[in-house]
Amino acid sequence: MTQSQIGLIGLGTMGAMLALNISEKGFPIAVWNRTVAVTHGFKAEAGALADKITPCETLADLVAAIAPPRAIILMVPAGQAVDDMIATLRPLMAADDLIIDAGNALFHDTDRRSAEAAKIGPHFMGIGVSGGEEGARHGPAIMGGGSRSDWDRVAPVLNAIAAKYKGEPCADYMGPAGAGHFVKAVHNGIEYADMQMIAEVYGVMRDGLGMDAAAIAETFKAWNQGPLQSYLIEISAEVAAATDTHSGKPMLDMILDRAGQKGTGRWTVIEAQHLAATIPAIEAAVMARNLSSRLEERLAGEAVFGAAPQAGANVTLAQLEQAMIAGKILCYAQGFALISAASKAFNWPMPLPEIARVWREGCIIRSSMLNDMATALTEDAGRNLMLAPFFADHLKATHGALRQVIAAGALSGLPMPALASGLAWFDMMRTGRSTANMIQAQRDFFGAHGFERVDGVADKHGPWSGHGI
């Protein structure tokens, strides 16, 4: 029997789709799932691809089915399940074999597992995979982390299965250890913010302008033909246009407004705080998801204070589109700045232009803007994206509309936390003389923390009568 070139553990939705993608690209693959019937059923339903799939009933069989040096992809839930699987595989595999965690792992866990693997083997790397079920099957964006030699070993497979942008694979090496999973977490954080901003402008259209779902769908569809062209705007048009098969009403009107999450956005926000990186649009998006789950409290609040006015918001669809353009640029600028901060803090030489290129196709945040972002980051990777001439010009042209939309929302009681946070960040980023001097004076007054002076005088404290209270 011909040995497989790679193995995969975990035939849930994502794992099964990824295995089919690998086999379709011509790579024989051995697969294992803890439920044996699922393993055999997967091959039975693989159709023309079945001859490249070897179903294995035990992990020992899986290891034996793969040509050495072996590479096995883990598609199991993040956390303890990954550690348990590594512990089970370790005595079965050779020291130069490779385990690849392709799930949504916390990058600190990937760092730890990489360090352990360096001591006792087998090799280990973590890769971020984005694109959902469709991406896994037909081409995801792939962000690799680990040793460069391990990436190079499996790059032929990963490049082959990745999404393509004008023929270029949307897969690349991000850096050592947990770098790939860190980039994937930031991707997800940007995804949270992008989705939240779309939801906010949807709310203005629905509640502030009184538009029905069909009109909202047409608006998103039109926006998808311009600067906002992206996967998320495209699917927003589709979901707004959909009709519920049970009630005959717009599908959106039948969906409970309680958003779920799997934690990657929260990880991004927590790490940004550790790195002192400013990502307020992403923080606001995570907050909004958390608050959406508190349905009973929100209903109680509405009962006490009344609902926001229905219709009558003083804003146009053109202004909403411009506000979304500004918000999107600011959100991505914050995300890339966070990656840059991590690169410096962890000594990961992460390639910002290549990250933008990897995100151009296959992933959830794919957008026409990303090609221009890759160009801007190639010109100067150390410059904040909002300061790049191309995006600075866009912001100059659109931030006025962003102000109008946020002001109209505030006057009408329409919440826009992500857009408003993005605007506040923009205004702070373009303020040469901020108000932090007041904070420094307060800190010195109550804690004698000292401050710097604008005139360079050596006196670090103020003449406070209540100093040190």
Which helix (H) or strand (E) is 74 found in, with range? Answer: strand 71-74
What pLDDT, on a 0 to 100 scale, did the predictor assign at position 1?
53
Which helix (H) or strand (E) is 111 found in, with range? Answer: helix 107-120
Q: Mind listing the pLDDT tens digit for each residue in 259-274?
A: 877 777 889 999 999 9
Instruction: Give the distance between the most distant pair of CA atoms in the chain.
Output: 87
Residues contacting 217, CB < 8 A, separation 6+: 237, 238, 240, 241
What pLDDT, on a 0 to 100 scale, did the predictor assign at position 302?
92
CA-wise closest residue to 88 among 62, 112, 108: 62
Query: Global pTM?
Result: 0.93
184 assigned to active site: yes
| Percent helix, percent strand, percent coil in the chain, to nearest 5 | 60, 10, 30
Name the active-site residue from 116, 133, 164, 184: 184
- Stretch 383-403: mean pLDDT: 97
Token pair listed for 181: 């999973």
Q: Mind listing the pLDDT tens digit for each residue in 5-32?
A: 999 999 999 999 999 999 999 999 999 9
DSSP β-ladder status, 168-169 and 164-165: antiparallel
What pLDDT, on a 0 to 100 scale, did the predictor assign at position 354?
96
| CA dist., res. 372 & res. 418, Å (int) | 23
Name the active-site residue from 191, 200, 271, 321: 191
| CA dist., res. 405 & res. 423, Å (int) | 11
- Stretch 212-240: mean pLDDT: 97
Percent of the residues in the chain that have a pLDDT greater than 90, as a whole number: 92
Instruction: Indicate if the pLDDT at residue 186 is higher than 60.
Output: yes
CA-wise closest residue to 122 among 77, 79, 69, 175: 69
Task: Name the β-bridge partners of 171.
Answer: 142
- Stretch 219-237: mean pLDDT: 97
Preceding peptide of 176 cis, ω within 30°: no
Where are any strands of DSSP class E within 245-398?
Answer: none
Instruction: Indicate if the pLDDT at residue 248 is higher than 60.
Output: yes
Residues contacting 118, CB < 8 A, separation 6+: none
CA-only gyration radius of the chain, Å = 25
| CA dist., res. 134 & res. 14, Å (int) | 9
What pLDDT, on a 0 to 100 scale, did the predictor assign at position 454?
93
Burial state string for 410-442 with b = 16 or more CB within 10 A and e = fewer than 16: eebebbbbbbbbbbebbeeeeeeeeeeeeeeee
Token pair listed for 243: 């009709």
User: Of residues 63 and 466, which shows the higher confidence score?
Assistant: 63
Q: Mind listing the pLDDT tens digit for each residue in 89-142?
A: 999 999 999 999 999 999 999 999 999 999 999 999 999 999 989 999 999 999
Residues contacting 261, CB < 8 A, separation 6+: 192, 286, 289
Give CA separation, 79 vs 85, 104, 186, 301, 376, in Å. 10, 9, 18, 37, 36
328 assigned to active site: no
Instruction: Indicate if the pLDDT at residue 307 is higher than 90.
Output: no
Mean pLDDT of the chain: 94
CA contacts within 13 A on the Cβ side of 409: 24
Instruction: Indicate if the pLDDT at residue 413 is higher than 80.
Output: yes
